[in-house]
Amino acid sequence: MNEDTVINKPTILGATKLLGEKIIQSQKLNHIIIRLPGVVSYLNKDSRRPWINKIINDLKSNKKIEVYNSKKLFNNFIDTDEIYRFIEHIIKHRLFNKKIVNLSANAPKKLGGIIKFLKKNLNSKSQIVFKKEKTVSYYISNKKLKKIFAFNTLSTNKLLFKLIK
């Protein structure tokens, strides 16, 4: 998914986000719209959200994990430190250019590999059940982030390792 991907039938939350973007774009202010996936932080106490937090907490509790789309790429999260680092970069280089940019983990990995990585590094005894692909799956493109803003986020693996440590 990139910044130009057409969103069909958004949820109420998605529709309000798109409406907010349109309102900001209609103003004469210099701005950047940052699209965020699931935001993680070691301070986040909600074990249900974003989805990757739920998986980590289920693995810590040795619960059975059912994984769909295990062969699909995944990078649909970012941590608060990376958001801060990007905002600092924008301010330092005065990059307010009326653009929309996705901010997510760099270097997507296959979801099955991510689950195995987390299980191993959390010393989990969870049973992992890989199911048939069930839902639409996508990963987030960081090409615009790199090309226009000359910025790289941490890789999916580094962000996951940082989150569980």
Tens digits of residue pLDDT in 110-157: 999 999 999 999 999 999 999 887 777 889 999 999 999 999 999 999
Report d(CA 30, CA 113) in Å as an integer.
41
Report the pLDDT value the prediction gives residue 114, as an integer from 0 to 100: 96
12-164, CATH topology level: Rossmann fold (3.40.50)
- More confident of the two residues 48 and 104: 104
Number of CB atoms found within 10 A of residue 108's CB: 20
Under 8 Å between Cβ of 118 and 165: no
Report d(CA 58, CA 123) in Å as an integer.
12
- For residue 147 the two structure tokens come to 């090309």
pLDDT in tens, 36-77: 999 998 777 677 788 898 999 999 999 999 999 999 999 999
- Taking the C-alpha atoms of 155, 77, 123 and 68 in order, what is their torsion angle to the nearest 10 degrees? -110
Sign of the C-alpha dihedral computed for residues 65, 67, 71 and 73 taken in this order: negative
Under 8 Å between Cβ of 57 and 122: no
Residue 164 has pLDDT above 90, yes or no: no
pTM over 0.85: yes
Report the pLDDT value the prediction gives residue 31, as an integer from 0 to 100: 92
Kind and range of the H or E element at 129? strand 128-130
Under 8 Å between Cβ of 145 and 103: yes
